[in-house]
Amino acid sequence: MSTKICAICERELGNEKIISKHHLIPKSKGGRYSPTILIHNICHQKIHSVFSEKELRDEYHTVERLRSHEEIKKFIKWVFNKDKDFYQRNKRMKRR
């Protein structure tokens, strides 16, 4: 059995209850059939707290682009040594 790794923070994916699929292009912006990545819920929430749906569609629709954003880099550094099952809600973004 191979170990699954989060595409954002590159930590091992643990408990299935805190794993989600992220559409690289939001479903609401035409990405219903776009590629998806498996990531921790905390990473998923961070993405959606930083970027609008439009930004995700237009600029941040690849793992490389997501990981290159300064706020996501800081988040990855912070979460990297947390347990694979660590979960904490992120503050929601004020703009959409």
State the total domains in the chain: 1
The SS3 call for residue 24 is coil
Residue numbers of the domain that contains 72: 1-96
Instruction: Quick: pLDDT tens for 1-26.
Output: 567 999 999 999 987 888 999 999 99
Instruction: Quick: pLDDT tens for 44-85.
Output: 999 999 999 999 999 999 999 999 999 999 999 999 988 777
Q: How far apart are CA 74 and CA 7, in angstroms?
A: 16
**Beta-bridge mates of residue 12:** 5
